[in-house]
Structure 1
Amino acid sequence: MIPQPILTALDRVDASWRPHLVKGLEAMMQADPHYLPALAADHYLPTDNRLFAAFALPLNQVRYVLVGEGPYPRVESATGVCFMDGAVGELWCDDGLSKAVNRATSLRNFMKMLLVADGKLQADNCGGPAMAPVAAAARSDGSIQTLAALQHNLTAHGFLLLNAALVFRPHVAPAIDARAWQPFLQTVLQVLSAQPQPPTLILWGKIAEQLKKLPETAAFPQSCAEHPYNLSFIRHEGMQKLFGPLQLLRAR
């Protein structure tokens, strides 16, 4: 049986997802009967029943499925939502991105990629001196000011923000946890592939790209990139083309 602590975390998901996520957990139990019981008895991130927090977005509103590697490895940062660092409040400071954003490397590089896509920053000149005037303008030109606003913009565009591994444990390699969660994500992809218009699947990093081996992914338009913790992500033209028109840094 699925351990009760795992089932309890489903209380935070939208009702449209619950039966499908139960089916995904059952698929995990069938693939490896020991994984979820061991996980339920272990310490992992995210805490506070946020394991399935990404599924607060109703199923019929999903337009994009963004898959990262795994939760941030800090209690205050891991929210159950891909690369949304719970320790980040304000996005900007006087001389650029806030200290909290700069600590969250993936988020920092994602924001810089958005700024490059908006024409506000040059990919080959995006360090501190170049960021200062950008930040000054952002604080007065109608740009969003907080991470919560960025997450709101993403969900408003229909982004399901997942990770290949839904948990982080310091004593388990992310790739191992990601393999254990594949049957769950395979079930999620099956459900989404049956929608009238399958969403765009966005895979960041080598662990997320393992999902391309699943037959269900053939039904989706796809876009792949290196993980955003790589500086090269900032200049990724495919990501700029995908995200640029969405104007995610503009207040809605």
Structure 2
Amino acid sequence: MTIAEPILSAVSLAHASWHEILLRGLENMDAADPAYLPALAADQFLPTQGRLFAAFAQPLDQVKYVLVGEGPYPRAESATGVCFMDGAVGSLWSDAAGGALSKPVNKATSLRNFMKMLLVADGLLDEEGSTGPALAAAAQRARTAADCAETLGHIQDKLHANGFLLLNASLVFRAHVAPVKDAKAWRPFFDTVMQALAAHQPKLILWGKIAADLNKLASVQALPQIVAEHPYNVSFIGNKEMQALFRPMALLRR
């Protein structure tokens, strides 16, 4: 097959250990639906700036966890090609007196709940009272650490250092296409990636229904995993499996 631009150039920006695998995944997508990739290349989609395979900056042999979300953020400034890493978010914390989380974090429901989960996991916040003054006090306690993570980039770096591949079930977002439809089209690609990871036996963390639907693939079923609600659900704050997973990683510290 001939892979159209801008998809081919996006492959070249991934870590070299992934190039052959990504190309094979695209070939498998093309075999399953020959019309999909040419139509995608001619369409407008997120992420932009050639970041379609940005998640694959993590070298293959260093992957210990695969965090799978549903799809890119539906805003150009937010969609980075890396699961859950909102490009519109810089500082994590509010600079206002008595503030807690920054305005961009508060606007991003999933990220806000993820931050609260981390604060609960670190024993700084009670999940039953995770708003208002209690949240502000917890944020202040977190920020007293000399090595406190100040930006979302710090958390991304920490996840990367812990061996995370931050992937979405669908690598693209298009305003006129249902996310579940794009995710289905990317399933042969995802299957190829999981087969390549099989020898490393990473733990999968599947967030939300679209990610959990990947269990239809034998390559996904064969890997150890945790299936959780998507962080846009407030119940995510109290998810004990997520707390236990992330607590040892101390993501709120650089």
Q: TM-score interval w.r.t. the shorter chain?
A: over 0.9
Residue from 166, 178, 182 that aligns with 1:177: 182
C-alpha separation between the residues in 2 aligned to 1:145 and 1:22?
37
- Paired AA for residue 231 in structure 2: P
- Alpha-carbon offset, residue 166 of structure 1: 0.5
1:80 aligned residue: 81
- Paired AA for residue 160 in structure 2: T
1:145 aligned residue: 150
Q: Which runs of 5+ in 1 are unaligned?
A: none
- Paired AA for residue 96 in structure 1: A
| Aligned partners of 1:2 and 1:29 also within 8 Å | no
C-alpha separation between the residues in 2 aligned to 1:241 and 1:204?
16
C-alpha separation between the residues in 2 aligned to 1:23 and 1:166?
16
CA deviation digits over 1:165-206, x for unaligned, max 9?
1111111110000000000000000000023xx100110000
C-alpha separation between the residues in 1 aligned to 2:249 and 2:223?
20
Give runs of aligned pairs for residues 109-128 of structure 1, distance below 5 A.
109-128=113-132
- Paired AA for residue 117 in structure 2: M
Return 87-96 or 134-143, whichever deviates more. Answer: 134-143
- Paired AA for residue 153 in structure 2: A
2:216 aligned residue: 213
| Aligned partners of 2:124 and 2:141 also within 8 Å | no
Q: Percent identity?
A: 63
- Alpha-carbon offset, residue 105 of structure 1: 1.3
C-alpha separation between the residues in 2 aligned to 1:140 and 1:113?
18
- Paired AA for residue 2 in structure 1: I
C-alpha separation between the residues in 1 aligned to 2:235 and 2:143?
27
- Alpha-carbon offset, residue 128 of structure 1: 2.3
Structure 1 SS opposite 2:16? coil
| Aligned partners of 2:113 and 2:236 also within 8 Å | yes
How many residues align? The count is: 249
- Paired AA for residue 221 in structure 1: P
C-alpha separation between the residues in 1 aligned to 2:234 and 2:188?
31
CA deviation digits over 1:124-173, x for unaligned, max 9?
11112211112223333131000110000000000000000111111111
Return 95-104 or 184-193, whichever deviates more. Answer: 95-104
TM-score by length of 1: 0.97
- Alpha-carbon offset, residue 8 of structure 1: 0.7
1:3 aligned residue: 4
